[in-house]
Structure 1
Amino acid sequence: MLCFLCLEIVCLCNSDGSICRELERKALVDFKQGLKDPGGRLSSWIGLDCCSWTGVRCDNHTGHIVSIDLHNFDFDVFNGQWLGGEIQPSLLGLNHLRYLDLSGNNFEHNRIPVFLGSLVSLQYLNLSYVGFSGHVPHQLGNLSRLRYLDLSGNSLHLIGSQWLTNLSSLQFLNMDGVNHSKATDVLKLLNTLPLISEIHLHGCELHIPLSLGAHINFTNLRFLDLAHNFINSTVPLWLFQLNSLEYLDLSYNNFQDLIPHAVGKLTSLRVLNIKCNGDLQYNKVLSIRLPPTLGELCNLSILTLSGNNYIPSDLNGLGEIFSGCIKNSLEELYWYAANLTGQLPIWLANLKSLKTLDLSVNSFYGSFIQVQLPSMQELSLGGNQLNGTIPKYLGQLFPKLVKLDLSYNNLAGILIEAHFDNLTKLEFLYINSNAFELILRPEWVPPLELKYLIMSYCKVGPNFPSWLQKLKNISHLSMSNTSIIDALPVWFWNFSSNFKFVDLSHNEISGKLLAGSSKLTNLEILVLCHNYLEVQLTQFSSNLVVLDQAHGLFSRSTFSNTSIIVPHLSELYIASNKIIGSIPSSLCELNHLQVLDLSKNMIEGVVPDCWNHSLAIMDLSYNNLHGRIPASIFSTFLLVLHLSNNEFFGQLPLSFKNCTSLRSLDLEHNKISGSIPSWLGENLQALETLELRYNMLTGTIPPQLGNLTYLHVIDVSNNHLSGAIPHSFDNLTAMKTNLDRGWSRIDSYVNNIEMNMKGREFQLEGGIPSLFICMDLSNNMLSGEMPEELGHLSLLQSLNLSRNHLSGQLSEKIAELRWLEVLDLSMNNLSGVIPPTMTNLASLNHLNLSYNNFYGEIPYGGQLQVLPDPSIYYGNQGLCGFPLDKKCEITAPAQPPSLPNIEDDDNLETIWFYLSMSLGFIFGFWAISGALILKKSWRYAYFRFVDHIYDKIYVIVAVNLKK
């Protein structure tokens, strides 16, 4: 007691009247000076009593600082509460610090400070999600007292891992996302730590050894997460010797023999997660088998097998497994998206403790499940092929049901009040995309706890369901395509203040939205399109994020002197209405606006030049807008720009260069002039569709357009372009190889691309048409030969080069366009024979070669045989054969009729020349030889003459050589 009293006196003397130590307070002040604090979280760090500062805790007896907890709640760096800057080494003055948590802040691009390894008293260190990069310093191995280490959510990599063996007190380790590709022995080293009980190595490019050596030391290990490492090997058997293991996650790997017979040894296992096992790089999902020993896991409560194909796909054979002791413990079974088929298995009735069952997105067929599961809370069977009706006694089968998902099946029948009896706890109901018809009395009382009611594509109308107003807790309502032909009731916007999502689209709902709708302060998404509602934008919730009133009846005065008070709006769709007036500059004040779709209205005037740089999609097509395209539209965030069918003029502005993320550009049917700039192909390399037709463009097509490797659609037709077609089009990779990148984060926007094919206009609806490959350069003044490189664009489906001045012959490589459906080369100066290889164009269904200079016989066979229209070949006087009436002469050489046969005359003279020489040689040779053969005396005289001449020549040569 005396010693303790002396210690208290010493502490009070050292503290100068304050609880904390002065040296440690100064260390914290220096630490604060190195930090950025935009939210003022450290505003309390003033005065002498540092133990009362936010996030600081001192020892009650000694006054030493033992804990600093400055974690950012929810790990959200956008909530304004983050800290940044640098971590100062002044922390080394806190010799007694045992707890340090800086998680969720933003020390971007900084490295883990090496000096943290000198805080030898640390027992807890959390540096997760703080933006650190670089390698993990080995000095952390000095923290021999450390029990908890979390480095997850950073851009770190591990080079050398031997230091892990020094963390002898470590119980918890989280290195999710830390790259382990250069540290292949991590698990072997962790095996030496006697107290380790929880290991997180999710997404680490981890190497898992098949053996840990002679001794497995993971006797206290209860949690092991090895998911997302894409390991390609068999499952190491040492995993199934961890008798204390309660949680095992092997998801997103490429294991063979995923669940071996030895799984029965994991008697303590409570959670087994092996979702999506397979080589996802090649979209290959592996198949699994379930051993009988799985049923012996008497403590298993959560089993996740989703994304894995089961052999056989029919689950009825698993009755033996799920009749073991697992039937008493299993509470959650997830097996969705696994290509399972057959009828719903009857052994589900054994699982009396089952609370969650998810078999969605498979191929189950037959009737709805008819077994009683008294503990069931969440039942998900959506995305299958179930048919028939559902039983009226659902509440007796599942009395505790909270969530029921039957969406996207083939279920039918009439739903009446009895179907929902006793479902008093139901909060989530998804019955959309079936053939249900709801016949419910207006005074019916629905399950009052409902929060999500999704019943699109069911028959609810013709009357608007009045029983909805009893659902005071509802937040998400979807009644799209429900055959409602009625006026929107006045009470609709007042009965629930919890509304976040409302979709009433594709009905025949009429009426006006009254000012009372402004009471919906939580409303974020409102979809009213394809109705007859009259709306004013000023009436909506200030928290609205998405407004879709396309194909409706917005008031004609909507855009005349209107202030739009929806500051959080991110998506605004009011296409195909009857809006007149000009675009108000107040739209530019919506700082969160990402999608603006005002297409197909009667808006006029100029577009205000005041847009913020968060805009990702702008669609102002089919209006009466004019003027130059405002420069403030263009930014690195812009993905889609559709300004077609207006009267914009001027050249393409230089500010377009900023649109490095732009994927769809549609400026057709305007008055854009000047040339196509070369920088369009250099800066806009994300471009997938380029629509510039029906403008006033001049000059040549720049070869830099060949840099657009993702380009699927290029249409510059009906301009005044000249010059040759660039050979660089051979580099349009997406026209040769499928480079589909999917669509953007804005899924609700429908990207409509208008095309001209087969002489008529049509629209491609949906996202970027990655499966449609088109090139249209028609109705310009292009000249030169048709590049044979176009034949390399093997995925091309439509090629239109008509109404130009192209010359030369058609290359046989055009036959390589095996997916070509439309080919129009009409009204050019092309010549030569039609390549016989064109019969190999198996997909061709529209062809036009008219008004050129082709000659010879039209190839017969293949796909050309089923195109009998003779107008395809009109205007080519030298063509003959099917389907023309002109027959081909069998012996006549193929020749163009309009050219003189000079080449044939030259050939005839050559033949007579060689014939004369041959006849002369024959007569001369046989005149002499014949005489010698027939008269003996002439033979002797001839050979004597030859001998005499030979002797004479020999003597002359010999005498001359002698001299």
Structure 2
Amino acid sequence: MSACQLDNISPSYGYANLTSLTALDLSYNKFSCELPNWLFNLSNVLHLDLSVSKFTGLLPESLGNLIYLEFVDLSNNSFSGPIPATLGNLSSLTFLDLEKNQLNGTLPESIWQLPNLMASSVASNYLSGVVSEVNFSRLSRLKLLDMAANAFIIDVNSHWIPPFQLQMISIGSCKLGPKLPAWLQTQKSLKYIDISKAGLVDAAPDWFWNFAACVKCIKLSNNAISGDLSNVLLNSSFIDLSSNHFRGQLPLISPHITMYNVANNSFSGPISPSICSVVNIENKLEVMDLSRNNLSGDLPDCWRHWQSLLHLNLGSNILSGKIPNSLDNWHNDEYGSLDYDYGLYLENLMLMTKGRESEYTKNLEYLRAIDLSSNNLSRSIPTEIFLLAKLQSLNLSQNHLIGKISKDIGSMKSLESLDLSRNHLFGEIPSSMSNLSFLSYLNLSYNHFSGAIPLSTQLQSFDALSYIGNPQLCGDPFPKTCVSLNGTPVGKNDDDYGNSSFYMGMGVGFAIGFWVVCGVLFFNRTWRHVYFRFLDDMKDWVYVTTVLKGNRFLQNLRSCNFCK
């Protein structure tokens, strides 16, 4: 009964004989109610999935009566209150998912006594408390542990050796630090690790990068981890080291990497040794964010080797030189393939689009963006950039770019956000920009553009702030009217002048006719008497006609009532 758009879970089901039922799936419905009592009479149920169904209220203690349960998924609802201790009665339980609810309090001790538990998620609730190695002592079969986005304090001995071999651990936003946990290197099967926002203040030890080479997805963002990564090779598929204190030159990356985010660190030096060393190999990189570092030197010209790239963010560095022509190879016709078995590889990716920093997660594979803003780039924008028909966001603001906008910009049919502000661009705004029907954000401010802003519904929908700082621009939305060499306002056509003459002539004609009639009646007594006698006759005719028709209507109405 999954995804059936159900909105009523009738109490009458309690009178049905469901004692033989072993699996119940009511996920992806719209119940918006508390769990019904009859649910806890399903004494033989093994599989219970009530996820994403808008259930509310407390989790009842009677949930622990379903002692044969092996699979429980109550995620993505609005359950509140504490987790009932009776869940410890479910000794056969192997899968428990309570994530994305409004549960609070601490985890009951009985939860840690489930010997068969293999996967447990309580992420994105309001849970708290201290978790130590004692709590994990009986969970030898545990493979997946997700406690992220809560207020847990993970306090284990530095020499602790866990009884389990995890494949996935997510404890982001829990307090884990200040040291990187040494017990991680005992986990030989780990494929996914999220220890972001964990209060880590540590220099990454040498063992960590050897350990990380075997992990498919690593998220260490928003900590204070430090270290020189100049000689480190990153081999994971998904890497998020953003918002830390890493330094040195950019680490080397393998051709297997798909998402690479090292934004907001202290990396310095050129980009080319890191990304141009991987050539003549099929590369899978789709997301590259190197923004907010101290990277310098020219932009490399090896982008032809990264044809799967969807998002490139090099903003807020000290990069110089010209924008390379090899970016014209960056127009893959297919969408990216960002996915992962655990579905948790990407906490967020901050992209500067549409004039603000936005967080992208679920729809990331559908967004194509280039951000080279806030650097020292110079020379003209290569025409090849304006041939990227699939690009949705282009930000080249706050550089030293010169030249004109190519008329080929009209080919960027998918463009939604364009920011070329605070450069030294000049010339007229191409009329082909009126073809950008999806454009919802435009910033051409503080350049040296001149001439008329092209007339189009799209370009005139932006306010003057989109064009401010270009004193030679004229036309809507500016009050300054454009005038051609012969004195004719720019942007008007013959039809406009014909319509204006017509309405002007009509107004003048009406005024003249009105005063001619008034003047004749005022100076000619005979005509005046005739005119007012005509008005009196018309008034009498209207009155008589109205009275006669009114009487006829009333007579007809009385006749109808008599017939009835």
TM-score range, shorter chain: 0.7 to 0.9
The answer to whether the Cα contact below 8 Å between 1:416 and 1:439 also exists between their aligned partners in 2 is: no
Relative to structure 1, is the Cα distance of residues 547 and 439 closer, same or farther in structure 2, using a 3 angstrom cutoff? closer
Q: Residue type matched to 1:585 in 2?
A: A
The answer to whether the Cα contact below 8 Å between 1:545 and 1:570 also exists between their aligned partners in 2 is: yes
Residue in 2 that maps onto 1:565: 162
Mapped to 2, the partners of 1:461 and 1:849 lie a distance apart of: 49
The answer to whether the Cα contact below 8 Å between 2:230 and 2:249 also exists between their aligned partners in 1 is: no
Mapped to 1, the partners of 2:164 and 2:111 lie a distance apart of: 16
Mapped to 1, the partners of 2:163 and 2:203 lie a distance apart of: 23
CA offsets, 1:682-706, max 9 Å, x none?
A: 5282110110111000011111123
> 2:433 aligns to what SS in structure 1?
helix
Residue in 2 that maps onto 1:614: 214
Q: Does 1:733 align with 2:328?
A: no
Equivalent in 622, 625, 628 of residue 225 of structure 2: 625
The answer to whether the Cα contact below 8 Å between 2:311 and 2:369 also exists between their aligned partners in 1 is: yes
Mapped to 1, the partners of 2:219 and 2:324 lie a distance apart of: 31
CA offsets, 1:768-793, max 9 Å, x none?
A: x2210100001111111100001211
Residue in 2 that maps onto 1:331: none
The answer to whether the Cα contact below 8 Å between 2:354 and 2:441 also exists between their aligned partners in 1 is: yes
> 2:2 aligns to what SS in structure 1?
coil
TM-score, length basis structure 1: 0.47
CA drift of 1:597 comes to 0.8
The answer to whether the Cα contact below 8 Å between 1:707 and 1:732 also exists between their aligned partners in 2 is: no
The answer to whether the Cα contact below 8 Å between 1:567 and 1:591 also exists between their aligned partners in 2 is: no
Mapped to 1, the partners of 2:192 and 2:263 lie a distance apart of: 20
> 1:492 aligns to what SS in structure 2?
helix
Q: Residue type matched to 1:709 in 2?
A: Q
Q: How many residues align?
A: 477
Q: Residue type matched to 2:478 in 1?
A: L
Residue in 2 that maps onto 1:716: 314
Q: Residue type matched to 2:312 in 1?
A: I
> Which runs of structure 2 are paired with 1:489-504 in the superposition (5 Å)?
489-493=84-88, 495-504=89-98
CA drift of 1:667 comes to 0.8
The answer to whether the Cα contact below 8 Å between 1:649 and 1:672 also exists between their aligned partners in 2 is: yes
Mapped to 2, the partners of 1:562 and 1:465 lie a distance apart of: 39
Aligned alpha-carbon RMSD (Å): 2.4
The answer to whether the Cα contact below 8 Å between 1:609 and 1:631 also exists between their aligned partners in 2 is: no
> Which runs of structure 2 are paired with 1:94-113 in the superposition (5 Å)?
none
Residue in 2 that maps onto 1:553: 151
Compare CA radii of gyration and give the structure with the larger one: 1
Q: Residue type matched to 2:296 in 1?
A: T
Relative to structure 1, is the Cα distance of residues 837 and 459 closer, same or farther in structure 2, using a 3 angstrom cutoff? closer
Residue in 1 that maps onto 2:454: 859
Mapped to 2, the partners of 1:453 and 1:846 lie a distance apart of: 47
> Which runs of structure 2 are paired with 1:214-363 in the superposition (5 Å)?
none
CA drift of 1:450 comes to 0.9
Query: What percent of counterpart residues are identical?
Result: 32
Query: Unpaired segments of 5 or more residues in structure 2?
Result: 489-564
Mean alpha-carbon deviation: is it higher for 778-787 or for 533-542? Answer: 533-542
Residue in 2 that maps onto 1:889: 483
Mapped to 2, the partners of 1:617 and 1:520 lie a distance apart of: 28
Q: Does 1:525 align with 2:122?
A: no
Mapped to 2, the partners of 1:805 and 1:843 lie a distance apart of: 27
Q: Does 1:686 align with 2:281?
A: no
Relative to structure 1, is the Cα distance of residues 704 and 514 closer, same or farther in structure 2, using a 3 angstrom cutoff? same
Equivalent in 621, 636, 639 of residue 237 of structure 2: 639
CA offsets, 1:482-501, max 9 Å, x none?
A: 432222233322x1222111
Relative to structure 1, is the Cα distance of residues 420 and 681 closer, same or farther in structure 2, using a 3 angstrom cutoff? farther
The answer to whether the Cα contact below 8 Å between 1:560 and 1:581 also exists between their aligned partners in 2 is: no
Relative to structure 1, is the Cα distance of residues 829 and 709 closer, same or farther in structure 2, using a 3 angstrom cutoff? same
> 1:491 aligns to what SS in structure 2?
helix
> 2:341 aligns to what SS in structure 1?
coil
Mapped to 2, the partners of 1:617 and 1:602 lie a distance apart of: 20
Mapped to 2, the partners of 1:804 and 1:842 lie a distance apart of: 27
Q: Does 1:785 align with 2:380?
A: yes
Equivalent in 345, 362, 365 of residue 766 of structure 1: 362
Relative to structure 1, is the Cα distance of residues 711 and 649 closer, same or farther in structure 2, using a 3 angstrom cutoff? same
CA offsets, 1:624-683, max 9 Å, x none?
A: 222234967722xx11110111111111134x2xx2211001111111111102551452
Relative to structure 1, is the Cα distance of residues 754 and 883 closer, same or farther in structure 2, using a 3 angstrom cutoff? same
The answer to whether the Cα contact below 8 Å between 1:619 and 1:643 also exists between their aligned partners in 2 is: yes
Residue in 1 that maps onto 2:264: 669
CA drift of 1:438 comes to 4.5
Q: Residue type matched to 2:361 in 1?
A: E
Query: Unpaired segments of 5 or more residues in structure 1?
Result: 1-405, 895-963
CA drift of 1:614 comes to 2.7
TM-score, length basis structure 2: 0.79
> Which runs of structure 2 are paired with 1:400-479 in the superposition (5 Å)?
406-416=1-11, 418-419=13-14, 421-436=16-31, 437-441=33-37, 445-458=40-53, 460-479=55-74
Relative to structure 1, is the Cα distance of residues 594 and 420 closer, same or farther in structure 2, using a 3 angstrom cutoff? farther
The answer to whether the Cα contact below 8 Å between 1:839 and 1:863 also exists between their aligned partners in 2 is: yes
> 1:690 aligns to what SS in structure 2?
strand
Mapped to 2, the partners of 1:807 and 1:662 lie a distance apart of: 35
The answer to whether the Cα contact below 8 Å between 2:192 and 2:215 also exists between their aligned partners in 1 is: yes
Relative to structure 1, is the Cα distance of residues 808 and 661 closer, same or farther in structure 2, using a 3 angstrom cutoff? same
CA drift of 1:751 comes to 4.3
Mapped to 2, the partners of 1:887 and 1:580 lie a distance apart of: 63
The answer to whether the Cα contact below 8 Å between 1:800 and 1:825 also exists between their aligned partners in 2 is: yes
> 1:624 aligns to what SS in structure 2?
coil
